[in-house]
Chain A
Amino acid sequence: MLSSGDLHAQVVSPSLDPTENVIIPAASGWRRSASVGIEYLEGDGTRKNDFSTIYDLHSSGLAGNIAFNLSKFYFEGSYNSTTTNTTPDPSDDSINLETTENLVSLVLFGNDFFLIGMGSHSRTTEDFIPTIADHLKSERSGMIGSISVAIGESFKVGGAVERIKETSSHKVDNNWLDTTFGLSAEFGSPGGVLIRMEASSTSSAKSNKEASAELLSNNHPEVAIIRTNLEIMFSGLLFAYENITKSYSVESSDFLANENQMGVLWVPPDGLVLGFYFANQSKEKTGANKSAEYTQANSAFSIKLGQVF
């Protein structure tokens, strides 16, 4: 959850941390138990250009997740909100000040080998945009369709398509398609040593909308996100690692964002879940217009409390 940008979550199968949410709704159907969890985070960072600090960033956030099933009907809901405290600089690129994300997942049909799920996803953001010298409020909403398939006892593959519509205070409406694919593997048994790995890719299509008489143009870049996870659990102690890389282009500049997150949690078969995560994030310009001096780096720490039923 430590990112203010993209959901920290599992894609094809649920995390061994039962209070972590999943991105593709069908994956909720692989959950072993009902759970509820809350998480609080704080983070710090800087954005530097030409060796001078443009932004000192201080963020705080709250997240929650609930998952349960009634027979074959699986429900999951998650909330994630991050606020960044900083002084906007009109001479620099845009800066995100607030992000709130909600995801509701339903598994409509499934058996032990195949699941179909759908979900509703919304994300509201408030950014400071230097070109308009104002705060831009945007809302993205989308419906997700997804499937997940078990291959043998250890492997799962899955995919999802999300149609996203964006509305904002200063820009024309826009819409585009996100597609996600992933593969996960899990070895061991609950109660013993359990190892879970996952790799997934999300691609977001480019979509540019011309300005209208009253509103600015809305250009959504092509975005590629790769997530990899490694989780090891023994004696109820979970060590979780996740890496996310995100690449995209804005106005002829290529950006690469990278994030590493590690967590340590106590996860019983039922009862109290608690633990903590820490993460490091970086963002830099790459490619032809590479600027070695332009970097944004954040570190964050969070604690989590939950319950498995």
Chain B
Amino acid sequence: MKIPYLFLGALLIWGQPILGQIVTSSIDPGLPSETPSAISWRFGSAVAIESTYGERYYVYDAVGTHNIHNSGLFTWQPSQVSIELYSRVNEIIDSVDSSTDTFFETRGSQSYFSIAVRGENRVSVGIIARQNEQTSPLTFSESSFGGSFSARVFDGLFMAVGLERVSSSGTGFETVRWEETKSGIAYLVGDPFSTMLRIELGVSSSPEVKDDVLKIRNQTKMVSKGEIELLLANYLFSFRGKIKDLGSGTNAETTRSARFGIGYRGTSFSLVYYFDYGEEEINSKIFSESKYLFNISYSFM
């Protein structure tokens, strides 16, 4: 199990709020936001619960369908100030041990708190505090805080930039720190309660970080994603493509995933189902993953 230690940082990143929005919040009120300023562009307050199931497979190993995580989201937007609380518990990630080409189980949890202020319906500034815990096979804690701002450049065109500072610590390991940058553009047009189109392109990146014994604790990371959501007569259709490059040289791995969503987005209740298929390429070997996500939310105010 040499790879698990090498990839400790990556494990949590694999499980980070991968559905998160960088520039503006999703039309689906139950999805979390990756940057704090994005919550200012929500269409009201909401409470949501989500459950994700998934399976992984490779030529020599497979993990059957099981619950990957459950999460809860509360977002409150009484005025120009918005806050968002998100918690994902009992997360089980099936990571790849590339020395044996098999999967091993990693457990953890994630949560964050965001607060943002929207000004004149044109700009937003927010700050975030995030806590990720990995409880198995080793205990690691990743805490971070950061800020972001976004601006409506034209009528429906938004841009955002954010920075998050991460501290990673574990029993018997040196605490290491790094900064993660996020940026993106988004286009929104229409009415969020009937017909709307939303397109977003986002990028996040972080550098390689080694600890005092020169072990890689955070690999070079670059995540690019594009997302399109279409709301037609309260029915929501969405697609998101994502490419994540981790590490370099012999440690390099690339994950490509496509997520499709379909559901109902009402003025109060929303129910959206997502199917996410991904392929993780390590040393020219492809490890596949399928995820099934159910999101129920209630919007108010």
Binding site for B on A (CB under 8 A): 40, 42, 44, 58, 235-237, 264-266, 268, 271-272, 274-276, 278, 299, 301, 303-305
Asked if residues A236 and B123 are in contact (CB atoms below 8 Å), the reply is yes
Stretch at the interface among B102-110, B114-122, B237-245: B114-122
**How many pairs, one residue from A and one from B, have CB atoms within 8 Å of each other in the complex?**
65
Tell which of B80, B127, B151, B177 touches A276, judged by Cβ atoms closer than 8 Å: B127
Bound Cα distance from A38 to B250, whole angstroms: 45
Secondary structure at the A interface, as helix, strand, loop or mixed, is strand
Asked if residues A264 and B177 are in contact (CB atoms below 8 Å), the reply is no
Asked if residues B146 and A303 are in contact (CB atoms below 8 Å), the reply is yes
Asked if residues B177 and A44 are in contact (CB atoms below 8 Å), the reply is yes
Asked if residues B165 and A42 are in contact (CB atoms below 8 Å), the reply is yes
Distance (whole angstroms) from the CB of A188 to the closest CB of chain B = 16
Binary contact track B233-258/A, C-beta < 8 Å → 1, others 0: 00000000000000000000000000
Binary contact track B174-214/A, C-beta < 8 Å → 1, others 0: 01010100000000000000000000000000000000000
Which residues from A are CB-within-8-Å of B115?
274
Please indicate which of the listed interface residues B117, B119, B124 has the most CB atoms of chain A within 10 Å of its own CB. B117
Asked if residues A274 and B177 are in contact (CB atoms below 8 Å), the reply is no
Asked if residues B120 and A236 are in contact (CB atoms below 8 Å), the reply is yes
Asked if residues A268 and B145 are in contact (CB atoms below 8 Å), the reply is no
Bound Cα distance from A235 to B125, whole angstroms: 12
Distance (whole angstroms) from the CB of B173 to the closest CB of chain A = 15
Tell which of B120, B148, B163 touches A301, judged by Cβ atoms closer than 8 Å: B163
Query: Across chains A and B, which 10 residue pairs bring their CB atoms closest together, nearest first?
Result: A276-B147, A236-B119, A266-B125, A237-B123, A266-B117, A303-B127, A301-B165, A235-B120, A264-B149, A235-B122
Bound Cα distance from A304 to B115, whole angstroms: 11
Count how many chain B residues have C-beta atoms less than 8 Å from C-beta atoms of the other chain.
25
Secondary structure at the B interface, as helix, strand, loop or mixed, is strand
Asked if residues A275 and B179 are in contact (CB atoms below 8 Å), the reply is no
Bound Cα distance from A28 to B119, whole angstroms: 26
Which residues from B are CB-within-8-Å of A272?
81, 117
Distance (whole angstroms) from the CB of B290 to the closest CB of chain A = 37
Binding site for A on B (CB under 8 A): 80-81, 115-117, 119-120, 122-127, 145-149, 151, 163, 165, 167, 175, 177, 179
Which residues from A are CB-within-8-Å of B120?
235-236
- Knowing A237-B149, A301-B179, the reply to whether A265 touches B125 (Cβ < 8 A) is yes
Bound Cα distance from A276 to B147, whole angstroms: 6
- Knowing A58-B177, A264-B125, A274-B127, the reply to whether A235 touches B119 (Cβ < 8 A) is yes
Q: A275-B127, A301-B165 provided; 5 other pairs, C-beta below 8 A?
A: A40-B145, A42-B167, A275-B125, A276-B146, A299-B179
Which residues from B are CB-within-8-Å of A271?
80, 117
Bound Cα distance from A305 to B149, whole angstroms: 14
- Chain A residue, CB-CB nearest to B123: A237
Asked if residues A301 and B146 are in contact (CB atoms below 8 Å), the reply is yes
Distance (whole angstroms) from the CB of A215 to the closest CB of chain B = 37
Distance (whole angstroms) from the CB of A303 to the closest CB of chain B = 4
Distance (whole angstroms) from the CB of A84 to the closest CB of chain B = 14
Which residues from B are CB-within-8-Å of A304?
127
Asked if residues A276 and B163 are in contact (CB atoms below 8 Å), the reply is yes
Tell which of A40, A44, A268, A299 touches B117, judged by Cβ atoms closer than 8 Å: A268
Bound Cα distance from A196 to B283, whole angstroms: 54
- Knowing A274-B126, A276-B127, the reply to whether A266 touches B119 (Cβ < 8 A) is yes
Asked if residues B117 and A305 are in contact (CB atoms below 8 Å), the reply is no
